[in-house]
Chains A and B, each alone.
Chain A
Amino acid sequence: MKVKKGLSLAMVTVIAAAMLAACGSSGKNGTEGAGNGGGSGSSLPVIKIASQSPLSGGSSIQGEAIKLGGQMALEERQDEFKQLGFDLQFVPYDDQGDSKKGVANAELIGADKSVLAVLGHLNSGVTIPSSVVYEKYSIPMVTPASTATEVTDRKLKAVDRIVARDDFQGPAGAEYAVKTAGAKNIFIIQDQTAYGKGLADSFQTAVKGLGATVSGYEGITVGDKDFSGVLNQVLSKKPDFIFFGGMYNEGGLIVKQAREKGITAPIMGGDAIDSSGMVDIAGDKLTDVAYSSVSTDITKSNKDWADKYTQKFKKNPENYSAYAYDAMNVILDGVKKAIGDNGGKLPSREQARDAIRATTDFQGVATKVSFDDKGDNKFAKVFIYKFDGPKYPGELISEVDPK
Chain B
Amino acid sequence: MQKWLTLLKERPLAQAALYAAFVVVTALGVYLSDKSVVSFLLLLSSLLLLYYTAFSNGVKWIVGGVLLLIVIPFAASGGASHESYMEVVTQCGIYVAMALGLNIVVGFAGLLDLGFIAFFAVGAYSYAIFSTPQANNFISGQLFPLGGAWFWLFIPIGGLIAALFGVLLGLPVLRVKGDYLAIVTLGFGEIIRLVFNNLSKPVNITNGAMGISSIEPPSLFGYSFTFPHQFYFIVMAILAVVLFAVRRLEHSRLGRSWKAIRENEIAAQAMGIPVIATKLTAFAVGASFSGMMGVVFAAKQTFIDPTSFTLVESATVLVMVILGGMGSVPGVILGAAIVTILNLQVLTELTNWFNQLTLNGVVNIPAALSPSKMQRFIFGAILVLMAIFRPNGLISAKNRKADAEKLKAHRVPAPVPASQSAEQSGGAFK
Contacts and interface: CB of A to CB of B under 8 A. Distances in A.
Interface string B237-273: 0000000000000000000000000000000000000
B344 to A, nearest CB: 6
Interface string A332-350: 0000000000000000000
A11 interface: yes
Given A11-B49, A107-B87, A26 B228 contact: no
B213 A150 contact: yes
B29 A110 contact: no
Contact of A71 (B42, B308, B348, B359): B359
Interface in A1-28: 4-5, 7-9, 11-12, 14-15, 17-19, 21-22, 24-26, 28
Contacts of A154: 213-214
B226 interface: yes
B360 A14 contact: no
Given A14-B22, A113-B80, A197-B209, A8 B33 contact: no
B176 to A, nearest CB: 26
B8 interface: yes
B303 A111 contact: no
B348 A197 contact: no
Contacts of A91: 352, 355-356
Nearest to A113: B80
B302 A104 contact: no
Nearest to B305: A125
B164 interface: no
A198 interface: yes
A18 B42 contact: yes
B25 A99 contact: no
B132 interface: no
B211 interface: yes
B302 A14 contact: no
B210 A198 contact: yes
Interface string A99-121: 11101110110111100000000
Interface stretch (A128-136, A138-146, A394-402): A128-136
B228 A107 contact: yes
Contact of B360 (A5, A19, A40, A198): A40
Interface residues of B, number: 62
Contacts of A90: 359
B412 interface: no
Contacts of A55: 367, 370, 373
Contact of A111 (B82, B197, B214): B82
B35 A11 contact: no
A375 interface: no
A193 interface: yes
Nearest to A219: B198
B22 A18 contact: yes
A93 B214 CA distance: 24
Contacts of B382: none
A99 B303 contact: yes
Interface residues of A, number: 59
A91 B348 CA distance: 12
B203 interface: no
Contact of B372 (A4, A25, A64, A94): A94
A107 B5 CA distance: 42
Interface in A212-230: 219
Contacts of A12: 4-5
Interface in B163-209: 197-198, 200, 208-209
B302 A132 contact: yes
Interface in B312-338: none
Contacts of B208: 192, 197
Nearest to B54: A4
B269 to A, nearest CB: 36
B25 A104 contact: no
Given A18-B29, A56-B372, A107-B84, A194 B211 contact: yes
B226 to A, nearest CB: 6
A201 to B, nearest CB: 9
Given A71-B359, A107-B87, A197-B209, A99 B49 contact: no
A55 B365 CA distance: 14
Interface in A135-167: 136-137, 150, 154
A29 interface: yes
A367 interface: no
Nearest to B213: A128
A192 B39 contact: no
Contacts of A132: 302-303
Given A96-B372, A104-B344, A25 B83 contact: no
Contact of A28 (B25, B33, B307): B33
A345 B229 CA distance: 30
Interface of A: 4-5, 7-9, 11-12, 14-15, 17-19, 21-22, 24-26, 28-29, 32, 40, 55-56, 64, 71, 90-94, 96, 98-101, 103-105, 107-108, 110-113, 125, 128-129, 132, 136-137, 150, 154, 192-194, 196-198, 219
Sorted nearest first, the 10 A-B pairs with minimum C-beta distance are A22-B29, A111-B84, A129-B303, A25-B36, A25-B33, A56-B373, A107-B87, A111-B81, A21-B38, A18-B42
10 contacts: A14-B22, A18-B39, A21-B29, A21-B36, A55-B373, A100-B301, A104-B87, A125-B307, A128-B303, A192-B198
